[in-house]
Amino acid sequence: MTVSLYQTGVSGLLASQQQLATTGHNIANVNTEGYNRQRADQNASVGLNNGNNYIGSGTYIQDITRLYDQFSHREQLLNQSNLGNADSLHARLTQLDQVMSTSGNAVVGSLEQFYQSLNGVADNPSDSGLRSIVLSQANVLSNNFNELTNNFDNMTTAVNGEIEQVAAKISEISVELAKINETIMHSNGSLQTGKPNDLLDKRDQLISELSEYTRVSTVEDTNSVLTVMIGQGTTLVAGITPLTLRVNSGDPDPLKTELQLVSGSSSVALNGATLGGSLAASFEFRDEHLSQARTEIDRLAMAISSTLNDSQANGLDLNGIQGANIFTDINTAQLQQGRVLAHSTNAPASTAQTQITINDVSLLPTDEFEVRFDAGVYTLYNLTTGANENLGAPGSGTPAGTHTPTSPDYGFSFVETGVPVAGDTFTVIPTKNSAALMKATLTDGSAIAASSAIGVTPSSNNVSDGKVEIINVIDPVAAQAFATPPTNIGILVDVYESAPGTFSYRIYDADPASPPPTPPSVVGAIASGTFPIGSNAVIGLPTATPAFEIEISGQPSGQGALAPEKFVIDDAFGPGNSGNAVAMAKTQEQGVTNGGNETFNKSIAVTTSVVGSKASNANLSADTAQALFTQAYNRNQATSGVNLDEEAANLLKYQQAYQAASQIISTANTIFDTILSAVR
Amino acid sequence: MRVSTAQFYFQNAQQLSAKQSDVNEQIQYLSSGKRVLTAKDDAVSFGTLAGYKDELSNIAKYQRNINQAENRNGLQETSFANAEDIMQELKQLFIQANNGSLNDSDLDALAELAKNSQEQLLGIANIKDETGGFIFSGFQTQTTPFNLQADGSVIYQGDSGVREIQIGKSVMVATNQAGDAAFEKVSNDIGDFTPSYNANTSGISVNRAVVANPSTHDVLGNPPDYNFTFTSATDLTVTDGNGAVVFNTVAYTPGQTIAFNGVEVQLDGNPLPGDDFDLTPQEEVSIFDTIKNAIDWLQVGSSPANQVQHAVDYNQILGQLDQALNHMTGNRVDAGVRLSLVDVQANNHADSELTITSGHSNIEDLDFAKAVANFEQSQVSLQAAQQSFVQIKNLSLFNYL
């Protein structure tokens, strides 16, 4: 009986020791990340049959379990992924918002200065100082666009770098997990019944870390080996076999890097945007938000360049030459070819050369396009709206090889030469590189086309409210030549109401030496015609290859056939002529982008607002995700977290138990001594 | 619910960090004085603000242009006021000359004075502005507009260009007057024709000759010049440029209206047989031509060959000088009208600017009272979190073991 008392005492001691050890372990690990508190389960030993009774024989530690609620842990994982996603997106969008606000404001400021200097030239066109100021402002404007694009590029590089780092981290975690799985499996395979709690904790901690980067789900098998899946169910760790992630440059745009899941020597592409966590946020930011902002800025740069270049071409510079481009032409060969990216999967035998020509910036959308060659025709796919249009066979269209979509008309043409192979795919980004390659190309202030080429002077004898206006100048030098000797000494337009409700017009050389015949004769007229009341007449002159167009509108009734309303069009070129400069300055208030609805300032304000609103939403999402995560974390910690006060109390408890158990031994000893002394 | 130690610290750290970033944000707002720093702060307001800023910069642009327009039109107004004075003097001088008691040297002296007036007027017409360009040259601002020839006539070498600048959304104002419109296109006192007298013994003069009815005025069928010949005091024949007779009467009464081919002519005086003159179409007479004619008239002296014709010429020149004076006044009024248009626009813009600026400030500017209150609140909140953390961390069973 005493023997068993010893044993009981010892068992109590040992049990208390293990309890104390476990409590000590908990206390030591109070600040360990991902530590689940452990508890030693004490069980009473089986009683020994003493004939009539069962006498208990002490206690033993059944198992040291960790308090782990897999359901709350899973909830914590899910919320961690969401938090990782929301935080990452919030941080990046805030950065983009700040870039847009500072660099975007710089663009607005320099645009304002540019137009201010243009107005200066409109007031005093012969001043060379004012003209140089216009050019230096143009330089500042294009530099600002280049800067903004640089900022976007830097952000892309940063995001790509982060994706690479995260992929490397995930691969590391994967390898670690596989090793732990192996160790756990071996420890399970042996005859030990206890669980390797700390290894399990380590494994769970790694999975927690993983969940910040991507969405994680796990499946545990009978050997406690965990299969880990990321994203929508892609296996990352298959038991003891790790798979790794690798980053490849994108196709066709190398800067749109892609993820690949590598297993041994084979690899499979992974769609980063569906992975969840901060990885998905990085992809979403790079491929959606940043690229949208970049496309809009590129389109704005293109709109500014083409509007001002066109305006320049309408007038004459200080030397009487047609105005040259003030900014880089939007259809240079480099820009045109840069807008189409051929996929690397295209057959090497394909000799197709492709480019995009922009026809009308106001119709240009910010959608993404793809052109595929299949079944003998090129088809244009709008990846944003899902629409497609058959462009025709290679070499078709006018001029040959030019395919212009018409339903709807996007404002660009797809130009190709060469022989494609079925399956060839091309990514089309019509606005690519416009802001990066925008430069002010004029260097001499006198090359600013401030002067208009021709002007209309109504006769002082006109009595009705009709007018003749020059609505379109295609070639100002030719227009000027047409209105000056030797071709014509001015151009005379006379209009009168030949029949009630019908106006007849004639266009003659305004040479005073050879006046036109009495109406209605049109002998020797350059052009003639009629138009009904309420509409107007548009005439291109010279009639064969128009260099400009005039519009006769209003009600030019005149006073009969002998006294029609007369208008003379002649050369208006002069150093003091600022007609074209005024027209150029007016483009500041003209709607150009988005179907002609947005001025330049409005366009950039819209882009900045959209980014700001996205950033603000991301902020809200991040706050919500943080709150949700905190709740899940709290719930998890309620079960698994170490509370120092509780452990302190436990220390006392087990200390007392130990002391009491040792007292049993000493009592057993005393009993034995008593028996021994009794039989001496 | 059970609270673990790690959870306690985690939550507190969270709270502290959140409150600190709150305080930081408030400081940013306070130091910049703006409620909307980037689009993230309020995306919708940001868009509105951008629109306001756009409007304000447009108004600033118009105001700059208005300044320029004021300066230029102001210069024109002064120039024409000076021109008016010169023409007034010249007219007085010419009226003085109609004195039979003046002899040749007196008339010469007057002619010299008239030449001075011509020079002065020329000086005004060739005036330059602060940019060094001629203001009355139209678009040819580097070309001297009016050049005095050896024979006293003046040739215009500019063009008819009128420069306009934008002073409102759809309001343009002209900033110059072309030299030809300002100085050359003075209405002909007589109407649409100028008479040149071939033989005038009666002192007959053309009072009025206008194209009264343009719809019946056929210049191709009956081309000018129209020749008026009186074969007797009552017999008048008018022939056109081809020699065809367009009007013939044998009962001419002085002062009657002679109408032919859409033209109406009225003569002053009693005709004598042999009176012959031509009517050449001329709707406008250059002011310098008028002055040259005046100088020539004065230089003829006190004993002209045809006294009667000399008197007729005098009347014609005097009438034309009057027209010239009126034209200068008219030009000055034009400049004045533009100045008042510019004034109205300036007022409009000032009003709009006020409204827009206050709208802008309403959205963008920080309400300081509210912001400071928020800041205090955040501060207090942070302090509370910090202090409570310090208090609670001391509570541990280990302190009592």
CA B66 vs CA B71, B129, B175: distances in Å = 9, 17, 10
Whether residue A302 is predicted with pLDDT greater than 70 in this model: the reply is yes
Under DSSP, the state recorded for B249 is: E
> How many contacts, defined by CB atoms under 8 Å, are there between A and B?
200
- Cβ pair B40:A616 closer than 8 A: yes
| Tokens found for residue B227 | 């020749």
pLDDT at residue number A189: 65
CA A102 to chain centre: 18
Which of B1, B3, B5 is most worth mutating to test chain A (most A CB atoms within 10 A of its CB)? B5
- Cβ pair A563:B142 closer than 8 A: no
What average pLDDT does chain A have? Answer: 89
φ and ψ of A222, to 5 deg: -65, -25
Q: How confident is the model at residue A3 (pLDDT cuts 50, 70, 90)?
A: low
| Tokens found for residue A227 | 């299969």
Establish whether the linkage from the previous residue to A458 is cis, with ω within 30° of 0: no
> Chain B closest CA to A389's CA: distance in Å?
35
Tens digit of each residue's pLDDT (9 = 90 or more) over A549-593: 999 998 888 888 888 899 999 898 988 899 999 999 999 988 888
Whether residue A346 is predicted with pLDDT greater than 90 in this model: the reply is no
Residues of B in contact with A633 (CB under 8 A): 7, 10
Adjacent-strand bridge partners of A41? A63
Is A137 in contact with A110 (CB distance < 8 Å)?
Answer: yes
Q: Which residues of A216-230 are buried (b: 16+ CB within 10 A; e: fewer)?
A: bbbeeeeebbbbbbb
3-class secondary structure per residue, A261-300: EEECCEEEEECHHHCCHHHHHHHHHHHHHHHHHHHHHHHH
> Chain A closest CA to B43's CA: distance in Å?
5
Q: CA-CA distance, A624 to A630, in Å (whole number)?
A: 10
Is B188 in contact with B290 (CB distance < 8 Å)?
Answer: no
Q: Tokens 């509210």 label which residue? A: B370
Q: Which of residues 80-99 of A touch B (CB under 8 A)?
A: 93-94, 97-98
Residues of A in contact with B218 (CB under 8 A): 518, 562
Instruction: Say yes or no: A637 contacts chain B, CB-CB below 8 A.
Output: yes
Residues of B in contact with A605 (CB under 8 A): 46-47, 50-51, 54
- Cβ pair A461:B214 closer than 8 A: yes
Largest CA distance in chain B: 150
Adjacent-strand bridge partners of A449? none
Whether residue A526 is predicted with pLDDT greater than 70 in this model: the reply is yes
Spell out the alpha helix ranges (H) of A436-578.
Answer: 476-483
CA B82 vs CA B79, B92, B131, B156, B289: distances in Å = 5, 16, 21, 20, 19
Residues of B in contact with A645 (CB under 8 A): 396-397
Residues of A in contact with B215 (CB under 8 A): 559-563
Q: CA-CA distance, B16 to A104, in Å (whole number)?
A: 34
pLDDT at residue number A190: 61
Whether residue A193 is predicted with pLDDT greater than 80 in this model: the reply is no
Spell out the alpha helix ranges (H) of A124-228.
Answer: 128-189, 197-213
Identify which of A294, A228, A221 has the alpha carbon closest to the alpha carbon of residue A256.
A294
Q: CA-CA distance, A353 to A337, in Å (whole number)?
A: 9
Establish whether the linkage from the previous residue to A365 is cis, with ω within 30° of 0: no
Q: Which of residues 240-259 of A touch B (CB under 8 A)?
A: none
Tens digit of each residue's pLDDT (9 = 90 or more) over A585-641: 999 988 888 888 889 999 999 999 999 999 999 999 999 999 999 999 999 988 888
Q: Which of B176, B283, B396 sits opposite A645 (nearest CB)?
A: B396
Which of A496, A598, A609, A636 is most worth mutating to test chain B (most B CB atoms within 10 A of its CB)? A609
Whether residue A294 is predicted with pLDDT greater than 90 in this model: the reply is yes
φ and ψ of A214, to 5 deg: -145, 170
Q: Which residues of A650-660 are buried (b: 16+ CB within 10 A; e: fewer)?
A: bbeebeebbee
pLDDT at residue number A431: 92
- Cβ pair A637:B41 closer than 8 A: no
Instruction: Say yes or no: B169 contacts chain A, CB-CB below 8 A.
Output: yes
Q: Which of A30, A561, A575 sits opposite B6 (nearest CB)?
A: A30
- H-helix or E-strand spanning residue A14: helix A2-28
Spell out the alpha helix ranges (H) of B220-306.
Answer: 287-300
Instruction: Say yes or no: A283 contacts chain B, CB-CB below 8 A.
Output: no
Q: Which residues of chain B are under the pLDDT cut of 50?
A: none
Identify which of B206, B211, B246 has the alpha carbon closest to the alpha carbon of residue B226.
B246
- Cβ pair B10:A633 closer than 8 A: yes
Q: CA-CA distance, B29 to B367, in Å (whole number)?
A: 10
Within 8 A by CB and 6+ apart from A487, the residues are A481
Which of A643, A655, A656 is most worth mutating to test chain B (most B CB atoms within 10 A of its CB)? A643
- Cβ pair A560:B216 closer than 8 A: yes
- Cβ pair B215:A559 closer than 8 A: yes
Identify which of B170, B282, B299 has the alpha carbon closest to the alpha carbon of residue B225.
B282
Q: Which of B50, B140, B185 sits opposite A575 (nearest CB)?
A: B140
Is A141 in contact with A110 (CB distance < 8 Å)?
Answer: yes
Identify which of B181, B147, B145, B143 has the alpha carbon closest to the alpha carbon of residue B162.
B181
Is B400 in contact with B69 (CB distance < 8 Å)?
Answer: no
Residues of A in contact with B283 (CB under 8 A): 460
Whether residue A1 is predicted with pLDDT greater than 60 in this model: the reply is no
Tens digit of each residue's pLDDT (9 = 90 or more) over B344-361: 999 999 999 999 999 999
Tens digit of each residue's pLDDT (9 = 90 or more) over A460-517: 888 888 889 998 888 999 999 998 888 888 899 989 888 888 899 999 998 888 888 8
- H-helix or E-strand spanning residue B312: helix B307-364
Within 8 A by CB and 6+ apart from B347, the residues are none
| Total residue length of chain A | 680
- Cβ pair B43:A610 closer than 8 A: yes
Within 8 A by CB and 6+ apart from A266, the residues are none
Instruction: Say yes or no: B392 contacts chain A, CB-CB below 8 A.
Output: no
- Cβ pair A612:B175 closer than 8 A: no
φ and ψ of A157, to 5 deg: -60, -40
- H-helix or E-strand spanning residue B154: strand B154-156
CA A453 to chain centre: 44
Q: CA-CA distance, A519 to A505, in Å (whole number)?
A: 9
| Tokens found for residue A220 | 């545990």
pLDDT at residue number A133: 95
Q: Which residues of A2-15 are buried (b: 16+ CB within 10 A; e: fewer)?
A: eebbbbbbbbbbbb
Instruction: Say yes or no: B399 contacts chain A, CB-CB below 8 A.
Output: no
Adjacent-strand bridge partners of B276? B199, B229
Strands A48-49, A54-55: pairing is antiparallel
Establish whether the linkage from the previous residue to A485 is cis, with ω within 30° of 0: no
Label residue A591 exposed, middle or buried (CB < 10 Å: 0-12, 13-18, 19+).
middle
Whether residue A2 is predicted with pLDDT greater than 60 in this model: the reply is no
pTM: 0.88
> Chain B closest CA to A601's CA: distance in Å?
7
Label residue B399 exposed, middle or buried (CB < 10 Å: 0-12, 13-18, 19+).
exposed
pLDDT at residue number A397: 81
Q: CA-CA distance, A103 to A107, in Å (whole number)?
A: 6
CA angle A5, A8, A10 (to 5 degrees): 110
Q: CA-CA distance, B43 to A87, in Å (whole number)?
A: 20
Instruction: Say yes or no: A524 contacts chain B, CB-CB below 8 A.
Output: no
Under DSSP, the state recorded for B200 is: -
Residues of A in contact with B13 (CB under 8 A): none
Q: CA-CA distance, B218 to B220, in Å (whole number)?
A: 6
Is A136 in contact with A95 (CB distance < 8 Å)?
Answer: no
Q: How confident is the model at residue A121 (pLDDT cuts 50, 70, 90)?
A: very high
Residue of B nearest to A456 (CA): B161
Instruction: Say yes or no: A123 contacts chain B, CB-CB below 8 A.
Output: yes
Identify which of A244, A248, A211, A246 has the alpha carbon closest to the alpha carbon of residue A230.
A211
CA A377, A378, A384, A387: dihedral to nearest 10 degrees? -30
Spell out the alpha helix ranges (H) of A407-549.
Answer: 476-483
Adjacent-strand bridge partners of A76? none
Identify which of A550, A570, A453 has the alpha carbon closest to the alpha carbon of residue A509.
A570
Instruction: Say yes or no: B13 contacts chain A, CB-CB below 8 A.
Output: no
Whether residue A80 is predicted with pLDDT greater than 90 in this model: the reply is yes
Average pLDDT over residues A118-140: 92
pLDDT at residue number A192: 60
Average pLDDT over residues A28-33: 87
Strands A548-554, A54-55: pairing is unpaired
- Cβ pair A577:B58 closer than 8 A: no
Between B287-300 and B307-364, two packed helices, what is the crossing angle to 10 degrees?
150
- Amino acid of residue A176: E
Instruction: Say yes or no: A29 contacts chain B, CB-CB below 8 A.
Output: no
Residues of B in contact with A615 (CB under 8 A): 38-40
